[in-house]
Structure 1
């Protein structure tokens, strides 16, 4: 039993490369967030006409958590990357200012929960999709209370969260997994299990 515990601890022990990679991913996605936020706000009139479009487009904001979790595979990697991304977005001038930090924390926790269910040992498309869905549902529910309280009927609210979950599954889950595979093929992830698994 002691050897099993030791292996589990070594699996969860952070290396310097893990910390640096999660942070770098967060910074890179933070810049993407800022650009995506600019585009997102220009589409506001469309959102008024078709209220669920915004949640279908929101999976992009879940990507750093999923990608970091798939690459680093350590407890806290998803949360760290998502919080760094949200901080960079806020510093660059987000439409939502530092309120994005709340969303970053919620989204990061959602992905952490999915990977925790598999003790951070599974890193395939199933856990990636689950992470995207959990993050999307948590964020969608938060947004209903924070931004849309009293504005929509329960049916509209359910559709909004469901559309968010679809975006989380496809954009963040499958999209994040595909992105990790693409990065692995370039050799950029050679220091990680993800690089060895997808090489060649």
Structure 2
């Protein structure tokens, strides 16, 4: 088994702290959306992809998406302790879903399409969960025809942003030596 260096763990922590601050804000945004337009609640899930995608795209090591997702969840829960389970569980789940295609390729293929495929599949899984959780029967089919594609597009959009951030950090030399 390959050992994880302190540099990698600290990089995951730094990305997780930044992502956790974003997630804390998204948690309160999700609360407002759930109260005002509950059928659009799932759009905010994409923000949770950001730290895991940045870490995996930048560091290109096994487990970094999961570690970073959990750290981001812990940081976000410091601002909203009542949602600790939601934040940490979401970080763990999304980190695992982001890493899955790379695990299947044994961490040898780092093509961007794998990130997008992972985000689309995870978005679909989460869209179905939110669809069921919100009570699909309470909304007309036209609402779900709008909401479900947005739920899937949100993780893909934030994956794109995460890849842009990771590439900018790489160009700046942040991952050199990691």
Alignment partner of 1:41 out of 31, 34, 43: 31
CA deviation after TM superposition for structure 1 residue 82, in Å: 0.8
Whole-angstrom CA distance in 2 between matches of 1:164 and 1:65: 18
Match of 1:30 in 2: 20
Residue 96 of structure 1: SS of its match in structure 2? Answer: helix
> Mapping of 1:154-173 within 5 angstroms?
160-172=147-159
Is 1:140–1:161's contact at 8 Å kept on the other side of the alignment?
yes
TM (normalized to structure 1)?
Answer: 0.74
Match of 2:104 in 1: 117
Whether 1:57 aligns to 2:44 is yes
Q: CA RMSD in A?
A: 2.7
> Mapping of 1:1-200 within 5 angstroms?
13-48=3-38, 51=39, 53-93=40-80, 96-148=83-135, 151=138, 160-172=147-159, 174-192=160-178
Whole-angstrom CA distance in 1 between matches of 2:79 and 2:35: 24
Whole-angstrom CA distance in 2 between matches of 1:154 and 1:15: 50
CA deviation after TM superposition for structure 1 residue 154, in Å: 8.0
Highest RCO, 1 vs 2 (Cα 8 Å, sep ≥ 6): 2
Question: Structure 2: any 5+ residue segments left out of the alignment?
Answer: none
Whole-angstrom CA distance in 1 between matches of 2:148 and 2:93: 14
Aligned pairs, number: 178
Is 1:69–1:115's contact at 8 Å kept on the other side of the alignment?
no
Distance 1:95 1:148, change over 3 A: farther
Residue 190 of structure 1: SS of its match in structure 2? Answer: coil
